[in-house]
Amino acid sequence: MLEAEIHLREDTRVAQQAKAATPEEQHLDQAKGLSKTQDKLRDRIDKVTDRIRELPQGDLKFAPEIQLLGAVSGVMGEATDILARPETGSPAIAAETEAIELLLKARRFGGGGGGGGANPGGGGGGTTTDSALSLVGKGVNEKEVREGPRTTQATGETGSSLPEEFRNGLDAYFNRLEKVPAKR
């Protein structure tokens, strides 16, 4: 769902950038399509929340997660309404970004699953500090052309490669060590 929300935000940005060159009717259709997509994502979040609640003692064991997913659903609902106006500018992108931030936070709750003892389910305690801004560069560019290297190196591809100035310094250091008589 995180990836779908990121793609939706990219699609919203594209629609906003093309707004000036797009007939008003077409922009309206794009915004309504984006709104429907956002609403489907919100519906998926609500279904996941319901499934968590159906688990034995789900409301108790997963209260923080349920609360967070409720916040995600609320923000996605706001984004749905904003896109339906039609508004594909800053308010829509900000709401989508907030949803992404909350989904990232939900993801940090941990790998969950399995385990018993004093902490059933494994717990979270994630330390990730990534923000949605770290995902900005992962947009889709249909015209992108990736090219691999044209030549390959026959030797020396393993290990780390040090910059020339470090190699020279290390060579000088080891040469000096070899010249100094060992102390006994």
131, two tokens: 């923000």
Q: Token pair for residue 87? A: 């508004």
Residues 6+ apart with CB under 8 A from 101: 131, 132
Give the model confidence (pLDDT) of 144-172 as tens digits: 555 555 655 555 555 556 666 667 777 77
DSSP three-state, residue 52: helix
Measured CA to CA, the distance from residue 9 to residue 14 in angstroms comes to 9
For 27-84, what is each residue's pLDDT tens digit?
A: 999 999 999 999 999 999 999 999 999 999 888 989 898 999 999 999 999 999 999 9
For the cut 70, the answer to whether the pLDDT of residue 97 exceeds it is yes
- How much is the pLDDT for 182? 61
- The distance in angstroms from the start CA to the end CA of the chain is 67
C-alpha to C-alpha distance for 96 and 154, rounded to whole angstroms = 47
The average confidence (pLDDT) of the chain is 77
- Do the Cβ atoms of 75 and 95 come closer than 8 Å? yes
pTM of the complete model:
0.59
